[in-house]
Amino acid sequence: MANQPIKSKIVKLETKIDGFDHISIGGLPKGRTTLLSGTAGSAKTVFAIQFLVEGIRANGSGGVFVTFEESPPDIKLNTEGFGWEISEWEIEGKFAFVDASPQIGVETIVSGEYDFGALIARVEHAVKKTQATRVSLDSLSAIFNQFKDDQIVRRELFRLVGALKTLGVTSIITAERTQEYGAIGRYGVEEFVADNVIILRNVLEDEKRRRTMEILKYRGTSHQKGEWPFTIMPDKGIVVIPLSAIELGQKSSNIRISSGVSELDEMCGGGFFRDSVILVSGATGTGKTLMSTHFIAGGTAKMERCLLFAFEESREQLFRNANGWGVDFEKMENDGVLKVEARYPETANLEDHLLNIQRVIDEFKPMRVAVDSLSALERVSTIKGFREFVIGLTSFIKHREITGFLTSTTTSLMGGTSITEGHISTITDSIILLRYVEMYGEMQRGVTILKMRGSMHDKSIRQFSIDGKGMHVGKTFRNVVGILAGNPQHVDNNEEIQRMDGLFSDDK
Amino acid sequence: MSEIGKDKIRLMLFIVSQSKYSERAIREIHDVCENNLKNNYILQVIDVIERPELAEKYRIIATPTLVRLHPEPPRRLIGDLSDGQKIMEVLKLPVSK
C-alpha cells in the first residue's frame, strides 16, 4: 500500500503528532504552507496547536499561533486538558500568539483600500522573537468574516503565505468547510493558497461519529492515500491510527507454543506459531472463553506474561469461570504473569479501544494476548470501522512478535459464520471452529482446525467435553455430516460420502 | 500624559511606510486634523515594520488603520482614508471652532 517515495527536493518536517508522520511519509513539507480543511468540530484548531506543541517538546523549536477566531485565553483554556503548558512556554519565549481575533467593544469601520501590512509585520516579529520554525494560522474563514472584501483578503493571504515562505517556516492554515465531502473551503480560494491540503472529517455513520484524516494533495512529494481514522486522546491530543499502513515486514517465526490443551497442540501439528494470530469462532457457550483460559494457562505455566482483554464478562465472572476449570487467575495476577483488562465495549469508541489495547500491550509487554470477544466490539462500530480495527489490532500484535488469540461469537447456535469472521478470516493465521453437534438427542461439542497457515494440521472434526479441569478433546465424529454447515446428519457406514461432504463444507 | 494634553483627542495611525496607501493616509489625516481640530489633538504615526510590538499591543491587522484612543469608546477606521468628511463621521470627532 505504501507508495514508493518519489525522489524530490522537498524535505519533510516530522510533526511528532502520533501516527501523522507515518501517513504523511515523514511529516509536513518543510518551509511550506499546508492547508488544513474541515467542518466545524473536526479538530482543526487542536491539530494546529498540537503541531506547535510537539515542536517545542521534541526539540525546543519555537511556535507562533495566529488566531483570527478564538482569543488566546480561550484557546489556553480549551487545550488545558491536553497538558500543554502554553503559558509557561510563552514566558520562556518558545510560544507566541498573534492575536487577530475580533475585538469586542471596538467599533471598526472599513472603507477603501488597505493591506495586511500590520499582520505580516506582527507575524514576522513573533517568528523572530521566538525563533519559530512552526507557524499555525486559525482560521481562514474567520478572516474572511472580519474583512468583507474577499478580493483584498485573497490578495493579502497570498502575500502572507509568501512572507511565511521567506521566513522559512513550516506552516498550517486552517479553513472551514461546510460539507464533509465537497468543496475544500467556503471561499473557493483556500486550496490555491497552499501547495498541500489535508482534510479532517467527523462523519456521522450509522449513528456513530468517526474521525478521519486525509492527505489530499502534497505537491511534489509522496504521501499515503485515503482516509485514516484518528481520535483525540484526553491527555495527548490527536492520535492518527495508521492501521494498514503498518508494513507487513514482520519476521515469521517457526517457534511453536502450546495452546494449553495438549490434544489441540497435536491437531495443530505441534502448537501455534509464536507470532501468529488465531481466531476461535463458535456460538455462545461452545467454549471460547474456556479456550482463552487454556491459552493463558499454557503461557503462564512457562512463566510467559499473558494479557487478557475481556469485553463480554466482568473480572469477577472471568475469575470464577477460570476457577471452575482449575485455573487460578488471581494467583497469576499476583505473580505478575497475568493482567486482565475487563471493559464494556460501550465505554469508548473503537479507535480509543485500539489505542488502549496498544498502550497496555506496550506497558505490560506480554508474550500472549487474548481478546474475548472481538465480536462484542462490533456493537460500537460501523462495519468499515470494525474492519480497520481488526487490521490494526492484528498487525500490531504481529509487529510485537507475540501470539494473539481472538474469539468471535457466531449468531447461529449450530454453525454458520459471523460478520466478524468474514472480516478477519483472511487476516488471521489460524482459524479454529467450535460447533454444537446434536447426536441421539444430546448436544455435543465439536472442534476443528479450519486453517493453519504454514503448517500441516488435523482436518477432522473432533468431539470434546468440558469438566472441572477444562477441555478434553476426544475422538473424531463418525457417521455425522454437515457439522460445519450447522446441519449435522447421521449417515450409516458410508465413509466416502462423509468425506466428500466434509471437503465441501470446509469452504465455509 | 501631561495635564495640557488630557482632554485632547488622541489618534494613532498605523501604516507601512513604503505602501502607497500610507502616504495618502498620512496626508489626508494630517489635513483633516489641521483643518478641523486645530491644536486640540495628538496624532501619532506608527510604522508597523519598525514598531511591530505596538501593532501587537493594539492588535492591528490592516494598514492603514486609524485608531481613536480618546475620547472613549475606542473607534477604528481601516482603509485609505481618502475622504476627509468620512474620517470625521466615522470617528465622530467634534469639529473645533
Cβ distance A111 to B77 less than 8 Å, yes or no, reads: yes
From A211's Cα to the closest Cα of chain B, the distance in A is: 34
| Structure confidence at residue A6 (pLDDT) | 47
Q: Is the peptide bond before A455 cis (omega within 30 degrees of 0)?
A: no
Cβ distance B61 to A115 less than 8 Å, yes or no, reads: no
Which residue of B60, B81, B82 is in closest CB contact with A118?
B60
| CB interface of A with B, residues 198-227, below 8 Å | none
Cβ distance B62 to A125 less than 8 Å, yes or no, reads: no
Closest B-chain CA to A152: B62
Question: How far apart (Å, rounded) are the C-alpha atoms in residues A96 and A75?
Answer: 12
Cβ distance A119 to B16 less than 8 Å, yes or no, reads: no
Domain ranges of chain B: 17-90
Q: How far is CA A499 from the centre of its chain?
A: 42
Count other Cβ atoms within 10 Å, centred on residue A294.
23
| CB interface of A with B, residues 120-149, below 8 Å | 121-122, 124-126, 146-147
Domain ranges of chain A: 12-245, 256-505
Question: How far apart (Å, rounded) are the C-alpha atoms in residues B31 and A81?
Answer: 54
Question: How far apart (Å, rounded) are the C-alpha atoms in residues A451 and A429?
Answer: 7
- Cα-based angle A32, A36, A39 (whole degrees, multiple of 5): 170
Partners of residue A439 on adjacent β-strands: A442
What CATH fold (topology level) applies to the domain A12-245?
Rossmann fold (3.40.50)
| Structure confidence at residue A126 (pLDDT) | 97
CATH architecture, domain B17-90: 3-Layer(aba) Sandwich (3.40)
Cβ distance B65 to A114 less than 8 Å, yes or no, reads: yes
> What residue has cell string 448436544?
A443
Q: pLDDT digit of tens for each residue in chain B (97 aa)? A: 445 556 788 999 999 988 777 888 888 888 888 888 888 889 999 999 999 999 999 999 999 999 998 888 888 999 877 777 777 777 777 665 4
| CB interface of A with B, residues 145-204, below 8 Å | 146-147
Cβ-Cβ contacts under 8 Å, A116 against chain B: 61-63
Of A214, A140, A212, A134, whose CA–CA distance to A174 is shortest? A140
A100-109: pLDDT as tens digits: 998 888 888 8
8 Å CB contact between A19 and A37: no
8 Å CB contact between A202 and A47: no
| CB interface of B with A, residues 34-93, below 8 Å | 48-49, 52-53, 55-56, 59-65, 73-83, 86, 90
A391-414: pLDDT as tens digits: 888 888 888 889 999 998 887 655
Rounded to the nearest 10 degrees, the angle between the axes of helix A315-324 and helix A288-300 is: 80
Cβ distance A106 to B74 less than 8 Å, yes or no, reads: yes
Of A430, A243, A206, whose CA–CA distance to A354 is shortest? A243
8 Å CB contact between A238 and A43: yes
Of A393, A381, A395, A279, whose CA–CA distance to A1 is shortest? A395
Question: How far apart (Å, rounded) are the C-alpha atoms in residues A267 and A159?
Answer: 71
Count other Cβ atoms within 10 Å, centred on residue A274.
17
What is the value of ipTM here, to two decimals?
A: 0.91
| Structure confidence at residue A37 (pLDDT) | 92
**CATH H-level superfamily of A256-505:** P-loop containing nucleotide triphosphate hydrolases (3.40.50.300)
**Which segments of chain A have a pLDDT < 50?**
1-3, 5-6, 245, 506-508
Topology match between the domains A12-245 and A256-505: yes
How many residues are recorded in chain A? 508
A436-452: pLDDT as tens digits: 887 777 788 989 888 88
Distances (CA, A) of B25 to A159, B54, B87: 21, 19, 11
- Catalogue the active-site residues of A: 69, 312
